[in-house]
Amino acid sequence: MTDSGQGVEALMTALEAEYGDALVTAGGVSWLSVHHVPIRRLVTRLVRQLLELDEVPTTTVFGAAEDLVVAGGSTSLGYVAYEVSEAGLSFLLGHGEPGQLTPDGGELAVPVQPRLKVTTAPVCAVSWSSRHAETLLPVLSDLACQGVRSTVVDMASEVDQRFPDTSEPGITVLRLPEEALGRHRDVPAQSAFRPENERTVRVGQHEIGIGRLAWLAARVLVRSAGCTQPSWSATLYVEQWLDAVLLASHSRVLLCSNDSSPLGVLAVRAAERAAADTVYVQHGAWIEGQTSSHAQRCRHVAVMGARDVRAAQARTRRADARTYVVGQPRFDGLTQVDRLGQRAYLQRMLKEQTGSAPTRIVVWACQPFNEQRLLGQTEVLVEGLRNAEGGWGLVVAPHPAQDAETLSPLLDVLNGVPVALIGSEVGARGCLAGGDALISASSTCGIEALLLEVPVLELALPATRTLGLADHGAAWRCESSRDIARFLTRIDESPQTVRVPTAARESICHWDGRSADAVADIVTQALSGSTTPHHSAQGTDRR
């Protein structure tokens, strides 16, 4: 097969069939279930390498095992981009034997007996990113007002991604020990995987041995990359820790905003073992084409808009799953946004960094793409801005998981355009209400701008997925600099013609300022054993 998507699916299916149960936690969770997301990322990059491979590497002398899969740089904080090295490709294509490899060192696995002081709380929430915290805290606050206590398990590995300390009665924050996610040790690969397995899958012009692929994929489990990609040793630790928390807290409902990444899978499976119900709150927009790589494991799934219902039902792994359209709790505060204050901030940033005061301002909600893709987007943006009528200035707003310093080189491309770079602590969310337009490929900030009636331009360049807002008449699709110039000119000359119909906004995200109440209602009904929330949230059974 020559299609990259088909190649990824074929390899992941073969891995699951041959080695899905090769490594299993004490709680019965397989390595491919826990680490599906990082393994799939590795396989996706591998397939691209194979399809672009001109000359087959024939390395026969191997060094250490970790040399086959190497950790590369990433523009996204907290993530490590693993790549199969040339030696790894050679091994994958049949050269050399695992016995020639030097095993990794590292600590031995030690049984974990967490020492916890946890009070009884009906609800247990898990969080490891600022977006999770922003989504879940309003819900927990609402529950606390109703007298429902909750324990928050904070598993963030970055300080700025932690769940905030709160003095609010009824909410207890419990943090995963710092050493938990730093645990490293070799995976028992030689006993769990069989590189001599004869099954192969053809990708492009190459036959890929599934046994060798499994052996390579297991290298991702050796070194921990924090909360997003924990090692196998860290996985075992976290599982036992979560079991201990749920046992001590006697929680009957688990609340989360991610149930497909490693920590989310572990949390949901721990809840199932504790006979607790599970509630998922969509914290960001789902992008078309990602359903195969993200499965929903929770029973109750709270989504932002009507368009997300079908995706939620397609993703679910549960026959008893229910979907609710509730909006987004962290958007509730948009009703109080200070538009004038944000406008003044944008003007000040442009004045301080460029010395100019553009009449119109567009905010670019950046995302943690690789440098080459960001450079391509920058070039299209600057050309569109130069050709637009109205005297536009640009404010570059980094993603929260993005290091602002990685964007500095892009400013050199923006010659002739007033441009300011703001910090990721502000980001697009902290200033978009003051802009005349927002442009992005697939940032959830596009939805916030839509709700605030700030025109949204979707940057739909080749090989770039978008939120699909334009498909619902909620944004303007820009495939070139000419499109950008045309729409910015239209916004400048006829702003009344770019208003989005209420029905289009509602299909993307229900917004009445009471989303946190709606999710809290789902939780309380789950606690009572009912499956019919009496709030505005509308449940839909899977069919």
Query: 248-298: per-residue pLDDT in tens?
Result: 999 999 999 999 999 999 999 999 999 999 999 999 888 765 544 557 889
Cβ contact 50:208 at 8 Å: yes
Using one digit for the tens of pLDDT, what is the confidence trace for 431-486?
A: 999 999 999 999 999 999 999 999 999 999 988 889 999 999 999 999 999 999 99
Using one digit for the tens of pLDDT, what is the confidence trace for 37-60?
A: 889 989 998 999 898 887 777 665
User: What is the rounded CA–CA span in Å between residue 268 and residue 246?
Assistant: 11
For residue 299, the model assigns a pLDDT of 96
For residue 530, the model assigns a pLDDT of 63
The one-letter amino acid at 2: T
The whole-number average pLDDT for the span 334-340 is 94
Listed residue (268, 262, 240) closest to 124, CA to CA? 268
Percent of the chain residues topping a pLDDT of 90: 56
User: What is the rounded CA–CA span in Å between residue 322 and residue 309?
Assistant: 10
For residue 292, the model assigns a pLDDT of 45
For 250, list phi and psi in degrees, rounded to 5: 55, 35
Listed residue (296, 211, 315, 291) closest to 257, CA to CA? 296
Q: Is pLDDT of 67 > 70?
A: yes
Listed residue (347, 413, 326) closest to 374, CA to CA? 413
For residue 416, the model assigns a pLDDT of 79
Q: What is the fold of 123-178+230-328+512-541?
A: Rossmann fold (3.40.50)
For residue 536, the model assigns a pLDDT of 45
How far is C-alpha 421 from the geometric centre of its chain's CA atoms? Answer: 24
More confident residue, 380 or 225: 380
* Domain residue limits, the chain: 4-107+183-221, 123-178+230-328+512-541, 336-508
Whether this prediction's pTM lies above 0.95 is answered by no
Lowest-confidence range among 54-58, 333-337, 477-481, 498-502? 54-58
Q: Is pLDDT of 234 > 70?
A: yes
The whole-number average pLDDT for the span 394-404 is 84
Identity of the highest mean pLDDT range in 46-50, 58-62, 108-112, 508-512: 508-512
Burial profile 234-251: b = 16 or more Cβ within 10 angstroms, e = fewer: bbbbbbbbbbbbbebbeb
- What is the overall mean pLDDT for the chain? 87
For residue 136, the model assigns a pLDDT of 98
Using one digit for the tens of pLDDT, what is the confidence trace for 140-150?
A: 999 999 999 99
Q: Is pLDDT of 344 > 90?
A: yes
The whole-number average pLDDT for the span 123-135 is 95
The whole-number average pLDDT for the span 197-221 is 86
For residue 197, the model assigns a pLDDT of 66
Q: Is pLDDT of 73 > 70?
A: no
Structure tokens at 220: 């991702």
Domains 123-178+230-328+512-541 and 336-508 share a fold: yes
According to DSSP, the residues that pair with 202 across neighbouring strands are 207
* Angle at alpha carbon of residue 37, lines to 307 and 430, rounded to 5°: 55
The DSSP 8-state label assigned to residue 170 in this structure reads T
- Torsion, CA 382, CA 388, CA 392, CA 393, rounded to 10: 0
User: What is the rounded CA–CA span in Å between residue 477 and residue 454?
Assistant: 15
For residue 534, the model assigns a pLDDT of 43
Which is it for the CA torsion 466, 467, 469, 471, positive or negative? Answer: positive
Beta strands in 142-187 (DSSP E): 150-154, 171-175
The whole-number average pLDDT for the span 96-121 is 61
For residue 409, the model assigns a pLDDT of 77
Which residues lie closer than 8 Å to 207 by C-beta, 6 or more apart? 93, 200, 201
Cβ contact 19:32 at 8 Å: yes
Quickly state the pLDDT bin for 424 (edges 50, 70, 90). confident
Structure tokens at 311: 């995706």
Q: Is pLDDT of 164 > 80?
A: yes
User: What is the rounded CA–CA span in Å between residue 240 and residue 321?
Assistant: 26
Cβ contact 448:474 at 8 Å: no
Using one digit for the tens of pLDDT, what is the confidence trace for 294-332?
A: 578 899 999 999 999 998 998 888 899 999 999 999 999
How far is C-alpha 292 from the geometric centre of its chain's CA atoms? Answer: 14
More confident residue, 522 or 67: 522
For residue 247, the model assigns a pLDDT of 93
Q: Is pLDDT of 518 > 50?
A: yes
User: What is the rounded CA–CA span in Å between residue 543 and residue 541?
Assistant: 6
User: What is the rounded CA–CA span in Å between residue 489 and residue 470?
Assistant: 18
Q: What is the fold of 336-508?
A: Rossmann fold (3.40.50)
Cβ contact 377:441 at 8 Å: yes
